[in-house]
Amino acid sequence: MSTKTSTLMTWQKDERVDDGIMSHPADLMAWKSFDELHPSFAVDPHNVQLGLVSDGFQPF
């Protein structure tokens, strides 16, 4: 709904730098494995995968 939110939702595809340092959940092997297992889901950068790759991890 918001252009700012939309931009942030696609950051992991558009602007993330793969430099070997874990600085975003998209750098995790679980995220990359999920992308390989579900390529049709991974193609759309608006699909948020954090909840799927974290497997119930509670950050708070």
- Euclidean distance between CA atoms 50 and 44, whole angstroms: 14
Q: For residue 54, what pLDDT is reported? A: 65
Q: Are 53 and 30 contacting, i.e. CB atoms less than 8 angstroms apart? A: yes
| 13-51 tens-digit pLDDT | 777 777 878 777 777 888 888 889 989 888 887 777 666
